[in-house]
Amino acid sequence: MSSVDSTNSYLNLLNSSYSTTANSDRMNDLTMSDFIKMMTAELQNQDPTNPMSNTDMLSQIGQIRSITSNDKLSSSIEALTLGQALSTASNLIGKNVTGTDRNDNPVAGTVDKITIEDGVTTLHIGSSEITVNSIKSIDR
């Protein structure tokens, strides 16, 4: 079995383990752990008479490092973005704002608290909620 065949076999196994949705791109669901498993499977199943060259091995190690670095950078950017959103929104507590809720109904009043869920910053004004993106005006 060639390394390409073993990698394809592993990809097929991964693909069969994910739920099947018509429009889903399963390659986007691969994690760093999945990539390392694929590389390990490739190394274990390579043809001993024609092993992977040192250049190819270094290239794959470089890819792993690049993916890990990009993953860490993405996590850092997400944390920074969350912190910035929290800082910006917290300055609105106690201020009078006007905006629209999710149903496009007008909302006006003093911001009581803020929440951030799934990356969306929400201002709580009494029993109403508006997102930061739907603010029309801010008063002192």
Which of 41, 65, 80 is the endpoint of a domain? 80
Split into its structural domains, the chain has a count of 2
First CA to last CA distance, the chain: 71
Do 67 and 102 belong together in one domain?
no
User: What's the predicted TM-score (pTM) here?
Assistant: 0.51
95/34 same-domain check: no
**Do 66 and 8 belong together in one domain?**
yes
Token look-up 């390392």 returns 36
Q: Please write the tens of the pLDDT for every residue from 47-79.
A: 777 777 778 777 877 887 888 888 889 889 988
Cα 84 to Cα 62: distance, rounded to the nearest angstrom? 32
Question: The domain that contains 119 carries what CATH number?
Answer: 2.30.30.30
The tens digit of pLDDT for each residue in 72-121 reads 898 899 889 888 888 888 899 999 999 999 999 999 999 999 998 888 89
